[in-house]
Structure 1
Amino acid sequence: MNNISLLQSISGLLAGIALIVILTARFRIHAFFALLLAGLLAGLIFQLSLTDILTTIKTGFGQIIGSLGLLIILGTTLGLILEHTGSTTVLAAYVLRQTGTRRSPLALNIIGYLVGMPIFCDSGFIVLSGLNKALALRSGVSMVIMASSLATGLYAVHCMMPPHPGITAAMGVIEADIGRVMLFGLLIALPASFCGYAWSLYAGRRLPVVAPAAMETDSTPAALPSVLMSVLPIAVPILLIALRSFFTLEQKTLSLPLQLLNLAGMPEIAITIGIVLALSGMRKNQGDSFRKILQEGAEKAAGILVIIGGGGAFGAILAKAGIGEHIASNPAITGTGILLPFIVTAILKTAQGSSTVAIITAASIIHPLLPALGLHTPDGSLLCVLAMGAGSMMVSHTNDAYFWVITRFSGLEVKDMLRVYTMATLVMGIVAMLGVYLLSRLIL
């Protein structure tokens, strides 16, 4: 595809991005079809035949689903089990006991950070909305502060930590190590989460106090698991994956204990171990609930997987254009380093709303540029994925489904949400990118 000109490459790229933004943000078309149509349009601009376009789309779709499908299905299922067994409620109550009611906004932010590790941010907010309301009533703190503090804690890890779908897909495309992405993503998400809370507290206090609105809450299981059994399904997989990452050696050189660790630390097996631990928190007579959870997990993961597959298809079409070869000769672009992945993802996120779609699309765009940006090493790939995770935080506003989940379940005005939560996501993205930059100074 070296005969594709620079003008064609850039035109196809921009036209594809514009189509994704228009279809998803303006016409509310499902992201999968938007990505598919963007790939078709880009392919036509690249003057590929329809046969080549179809073959490339099928190949790109299959490769990304093959590498990430099992991981996302298992991760989704683990989150649902923790939700249904009441483990999230147990963790929330424990953190609250440690911080006290007076510090309830900070407690909710910490709870969001912990609960958000295995659970999607929108599901986590819905599950914890009852606790959020109760704490707002008990403490007298404005609902806008409470809701934004919880939302930013959940959002920080959702954008920065596998196995959440966006950063997991980016990690697969960029070929970064999952253990290192998980570990450093959690570390960078911590100050981002805290700064989201700090902004919520600052901006929320400048607004009139908003009392909690009436809302429906999910029922909680009668018999809750212990704090230990609530923590283990989250902590054990993270620890196993991280240990495997840091003990990576040739299989033949490993002793038996390290061979077992190498096996248990494979992401799919580690999360399966987490599922088994989480299941121990279910009562013996919950067989029907277990079957429903498995069905719900598969169905929910399917919706995510088609978006990721669409991103893989779009990326495969872009790869045919050799955009990386064209841009590699442009010093103005290649000199941006880790800033370019951040900017591209942030623009896409702000324009079309979905963090997942933004980071998947950005990964497809940035992947062929890695050598030109100097990010083709293992450390460079890690920084690239983390920079895109930071970019996917900003800015969450009225075109983001999560924005409306927070607004609806908290009974808040849109103008207050824009002043507090939306601005908090801008602060979080900048803080997270500063964390990535500091990390780059240490490892590059």
Structure 2
Amino acid sequence: MDISLTRVLICLVAGIALIVLLTAKWRIHAFFALAIACFLMGLGVGMPLSGVLTSIKDGFGNILKSLGFIIVLGTTLGVILEHTGATRVMANTILKSIGEKRSALAMSITGFIVGLPIFCDSGYIVLSGLNKSLARTTGISLVIMATSLATGLYAVHCLIPPHPGVAAAAGIIGVDYGKLILTGIGVAIPAMAAGYLWANYAGKKLPVIVAGEEVLIEKNTQLPSPFKAFLPVVVPIILIGIKAFLVVEQTPVNPFINILTALGDPIIALAIGVLLAFNCLRSFSKETIGKLLQEGAEKAGGILVIIGAGGAFGAVLASTKIGDHLSAALPLASMGIFFPFLITFVLKTAQGSSTVAIITAASIVLPLLPALGLDNEKGHLLCVLAMGAGSMMISHANDAYFWVIAKFSGLEMNTMLKVYSVATVCMGIVSFVIVYLLSFIL
């Protein structure tokens, strides 16, 4: 099938515009938006209906094969940590270590650590009561505290698996999760710092916003110890990190090394994290365990269908040979990692969801990797991190997380745009600069 570049690009732009229109304006679920875009793209370039359906099924199945268990286990881990109060224990422990005078920094670091297993919106809701309480007792403006917590959570959400967007991009592009987690943490820390510094700078230029008098009532009064609270987060990261180094060294001969390699598989490591998280419960009952596991599975289901549809969209794009067309027509080699960053940034700003933006961008970038000079292990890793940086900016009124922060902090939209939205721009730029520097080091 010989398709002109012009026709492919017209269909691609139409597909992306349809995704943005359906998700941002008409509030259609991203799964259906991506599925409709698959048919628009495939039929638009002249593929037979049977060929479009085959590409959709293959793309959907392949991405879920690599990501299904990771997303379900990661989501379940977050649900259990929320229910047991482990997130608040982690927050209080960090606060005691840093001190109330640095409450904003403490909340930023708390957001970073709590955000490793928990989605940013859930993490913010869980910690918003503590955040308001600290703002009242310390006299620090609520906009500084809210933005510090929000950006700490956001840095991890955009750059580190098992969060769905970056995890899906890793599955589509083909990146080792262990290496991505370790390198992603190194990129996310400067991003968190950028968000925190901007929150302090911009927040001090605005009138002090005092938190309301409402007090969060803790449902679970018997909280776990700090050791138990941190263990489900730290252990999986250590196991996955050990495996990443063992793979680099290529020494799987020793039986002990084989065991560590097996434990470091993201699925096994996250399963261990889930078991450790159950240890935070004061009492075990089949009703409680069953309810938590069901909630985790149900919450993951909505994410998995979006990721699957993203994989299907990528498979349809690959069938159009868009990579061959663009590599012949554009100087992609000179753009390198800037191209995946730019396209993700545009998609994020246009339609609001970081997850949809990075999944869609990964599908577009995949066939272009050879032309971009990124068709190797290092290039794949840098590409995913660059897309993660792009998916940070710009968070504004079309982003659900934007409204979670505004609602639970009681901040006006104008204040949110001046402080939080600009903070996401700072985070995205700083993250991309770090990724660019890594391209000379790795």
| C-alpha displacement of 1:404 | 0.4
| C-alpha displacement of 1:213 | 3.2
Separation of aligned partners in 2, 1:124 and 1:253: 38
| C-alpha displacement of 1:217 | 3.9
Change in 2 beyond 3 A, CA 1:409/1:286? farther
Counterpart of 1:73 in structure 2 is: 72
Cα RMSD over matched residues? 1.4
Separation of aligned partners in 1, 2:212 and 2:60: 44
| C-alpha displacement of 1:332 | 2.4
Q: TM-score, structure 2 length as denominator?
A: 0.98
Counterpart of 1:149 in structure 2 is: 148
Counterpart of 1:272 in structure 2 is: 271
| C-alpha displacement of 1:284 | 2.2
| C-alpha displacement of 1:132 | 0.5
Counterpart of 2:173 in structure 1 is: 174
* Deviation readout 1:160-193 (Å, 9 max, x if unpaired): 1000000000000000111111001011100110
Describe the SS at the equivalent of 2:207. coil
Describe the SS at the equivalent of 2:41. helix
| C-alpha displacement of 1:215 | 5.3
The one-letter code matched in structure 2 to 1:143 is L
2:3 equivalent to 1:9: no
Separation of aligned partners in 2, 1:177 and 1:21: 30
| C-alpha displacement of 1:218 | 6.2
| C-alpha displacement of 1:63 | 1.1
Separation of aligned partners in 2, 1:218 and 1:356: 32
| C-alpha displacement of 1:75 | 0.3
The one-letter code matched in structure 2 to 1:338 is I
Counterpart of 1:212 in structure 2 is: 211
| C-alpha displacement of 1:246 | 1.4
5+ long unaligned stretches in structure 1: none
Describe the SS at the equivalent of 2:58. helix
| C-alpha displacement of 1:59 | 1.3
Counterpart of 1:374 in structure 2 is: 373
Separation of aligned partners in 2, 1:331 and 1:148: 40
Counterpart of 2:45 in structure 1 is: 46
The one-letter code matched in structure 2 to 1:180 is K
Alignment of 1:27-426 (within 5 A): 27-213=26-212, 217=216, 219-248=218-247, 253-426=252-425
Separation of aligned partners in 2, 1:411 and 1:369: 44
Q: What count of residue pairs does the alignment treat as equivalent?
A: 442
| C-alpha displacement of 1:205 | 0.9
Deviates more, 1:42-51 or 1:152-161: 42-51
Deviates more, 1:79-88 or 1:430-439: 79-88
* Deviation readout 1:47-87 (Å, 9 max, x if unpaired): 11112111211111111111101110000000111111111
The one-letter code matched in structure 1 to 2:311 is G
5+ long unaligned stretches in structure 2: none
Deviates more, 1:338-347 or 1:56-65: 56-65
| C-alpha displacement of 1:214 | 5.3
* Deviation readout 1:195-242 (Å, 9 max, x if unpaired): 101101111111111111355746342221111111111111111111
* Deviation readout 1:264-304 (Å, 9 max, x if unpaired): 01110000011111111112245422221111101100000
Contact 1:395 1:426 in 2 (8 A): yes
Separation of aligned partners in 1, 2:214 and 2:345: 32
Contact 1:214 1:411 in 2 (8 A): no
Separation of aligned partners in 1, 2:214 and 2:266: 37
Contact 2:246 2:252 in 1 (8 A): no
Change in 2 beyond 3 A, CA 1:361/1:250? same
Identity within the alignment, %: 56
